[in-house]
Structure 1
């Protein structure tokens, strides 16, 4: 159990190291905390915190930096909730007040703004497409035999694919099929529609439509892509600002991890209604061990669960990040109800 003075010292070192990235010495702490004790007393307290595994020395300095254990103690016992600075509230309000056509546009803008204000890398996954429904299917002639099939889903997503008809055929030959799809399948969940289409739906099928069966395969291909899991990433290059890893292969592997929806759903912690913080080696994937990952889940009723996470250094500003994620989670849940 730490004394109040030891807690103040640990919090001050964590705050200073988050700002400067440099080890903190006793003289700096004495001037900052204005405690009625000597510099020697501060050094003794720092030595005690080091013995407890909460601080560690840097080889190039006589000062101390927080250890992973120290950060965990801070997050679990010392971190206080805080209000967002006014300028951050204004930026977030501006994003959510804008009317986007698609969920993807909203999440893309949210990740960009969060990356901009934190200087970290932000990852978002939209709610799993458990109940996304078919809203409409259209066929548009572009030029001659070149056509475009367009699928619109209930979350505002528009997915399209161009294709060619063989010479002697026209798009009017397919209109009855398009009309039938709109009359019988619109309003049904995409997953149900996919199950109702017979046969496999190859993603790389030939783009020249010669038969109604091939056209249905194209339709199924577009449907499958319309609910494909997607990762939205803001601040991709910010990783280079807080990484000490100069191995480009490791950075490449990290990017591949961040861009994989399935892997990101595995490494992001199950935060339920709160914000989860995974520090250093607490992360399940070794690629994330040099970093901290703060994440939260947001659930859209009757649809599914999405995630949003902030990847930063272990000396990230935890209190600000937690406040940001909590604020964004609550607003996303409210806003996304309008898109489904």
Structure 2
């Protein structure tokens, strides 16, 4: 249990280290905390904090820096809520004032915005697409044997794929399949449509065209693409600014992790209502242990949860990051109501 003076000193050390990234000495603290005590008293209190594992000595100076336990104590007990600045609120307003054609466009812009305002690497995962339905499917002749297939879903998502017309197959024959698909599958959930491709649908189509298998495979791939989980990353190169001792192999492993939707859902998924802070060794994935991951979940009714996260150094300004995530989450939920 810390005394009030120890809490003030720990808070000052963390604030100073977040701001300047340098070890903090007793003389600097004496100025920062503005308490009627001597430098010797400050040193004694710092020794007490070090004994409790909340600060530690830096090898290159006589000052102290926060430990992981110190940051955790700060986030849990010392951090006060922070109002975003007028400039930050204006930036959020500008980000969400434009109209987005697709959910993906919105989340791309959100990650860019958070990366720009924080200087860190940002992540967004969109809500599950369990109830998204097939709205339409069509073929567009491009040139000669080249065809563009276009699929549209009920949430405004589109998927397209170009292919060459199979030898011995006419565009008219494929249009018969497209007509069948639009009659039988439009309005049905995409996951249900995918299941039907391995059921009776191919048998029915064989009465219409001799060999629909290749085209149905293309159609199935497009359906899968439309509901495939994606990770949206902003400021991926910002990692280089707050990575110090890691070699290129570690950086490559980090990028591969960030690009893995399933793993990122697992890592970020522990964030419930509010903002969840994982500091250093608290991260479950070994690759993330040199960093802090601050995340939040947003919910769209009938469509489950999506996630937003900010990856940065352990000495990130946690109060600022938590405020940004809270405000962006609220703006994202309001905007996504238009899509779902």
Regarding TM over 0.5, the answer is yes
Q: Count matched residues.
A: 332
Distance (whole Å) between structure 1 residues aligned to residue 246 and residue 166 of structure 2? 53
Asked if 1:303 corresponds to 2:319, the answer is: no
Distance (whole Å) between structure 1 residues aligned to residue 217 and residue 240 of structure 2? 43
Which residue number corresponds to residue 220 of structure 2? Answer: 220
- CA-CA distance at 1:172 after TM superposition: 2.5
Unpaired segments of 5 or more residues in structure 2? 200-208
Which residue number corresponds to residue 150 of structure 2? Answer: 150
Residues 177-233 of structure 1: per-residue CA shift (max 9 Å, x gap) = 21222222112111011011126xxxxxxxxx9833322221111111111111100
- CA-CA distance at 1:155 after TM superposition: 2.2
SS for the counterpart of 1:178 is helix
- CA-CA distance at 1:170 after TM superposition: 3.2
Given the superposition, is the C-alpha separation of residues 216 and 44 from structure 1 closer, same or farther in structure 2, using an over 3 Å criterion? Answer: same
- CA-CA distance at 1:49 after TM superposition: 0.8
Which residue number corresponds to residue 103 of structure 2? Answer: 103
Asked if 1:54 corresponds to 2:54, the answer is: yes
SS for the counterpart of 1:138 is strand
Distance (whole Å) between structure 2 residues aligned to residue 219 and residue 249 of structure 1? 38
Structure 1 residues 125-204: aligned runs within 5 Å? 125-166=125-166, 169-198=169-198
Distance (whole Å) between structure 1 residues aligned to residue 306 and residue 52 of structure 2? 38
Which residue number corresponds to residue 241 of structure 1? Answer: 241
Distance (whole Å) between structure 2 residues aligned to residue 330 and residue 231 of structure 1? 20
Distance (whole Å) between structure 2 residues aligned to residue 293 and residue 210 of structure 1? 54
- CA-CA distance at 1:244 after TM superposition: 1.6
Q: Tell whether the 8 Å contact from 1:268 to 1:309 is kept in structure 2 after alignment.
A: yes
Which residue number corresponds to residue 273 of structure 1? Answer: 273
Q: Tell whether the 8 Å contact from 1:166 to 1:210 is kept in structure 2 after alignment.
A: no
- CA-CA distance at 1:71 after TM superposition: 0.5
Which residue number corresponds to residue 264 of structure 1? Answer: 264
Which residue number corresponds to residue 119 of structure 1? Answer: 119
Distance (whole Å) between structure 2 residues aligned to residue 193 and residue 75 of structure 1? 47
Distance (whole Å) between structure 2 residues aligned to residue 269 and residue 312 of structure 1? 18
Which residue number corresponds to residue 6 of structure 2? Answer: 6
Q: Tell whether the 8 Å contact from 1:134 to 1:187 is kept in structure 2 after alignment.
A: yes
TM-score (normalizing by structure 1): 0.94
- CA-CA distance at 1:93 after TM superposition: 1.1
SS for the counterpart of 2:298 is strand
Distance (whole Å) between structure 2 residues aligned to residue 110 and residue 128 of structure 1? 18
TM-score (normalizing by structure 2): 0.94
- CA-CA distance at 1:305 after TM superposition: 1.3
Distance (whole Å) between structure 2 residues aligned to residue 179 and residue 109 of structure 1? 36
Q: Tell whether the 8 Å contact from 2:269 to 2:307 is kept in structure 1 after alignment.
A: no
Q: Tell whether the 8 Å contact from 1:292 to 1:311 is kept in structure 2 after alignment.
A: yes
Cα RMSD (Å): 1.7
Unpaired segments of 5 or more residues in structure 1? 200-208
Q: Tell whether the 8 Å contact from 1:269 to 1:276 is kept in structure 2 after alignment.
A: no
Distance (whole Å) between structure 2 residues aligned to residue 278 and residue 210 of structure 1? 57
Structure 1 residues 24-63: aligned runs within 5 Å? 24-63=24-63
Q: Tell whether the 8 Å contact from 1:128 to 1:306 is kept in structure 2 after alignment.
A: yes
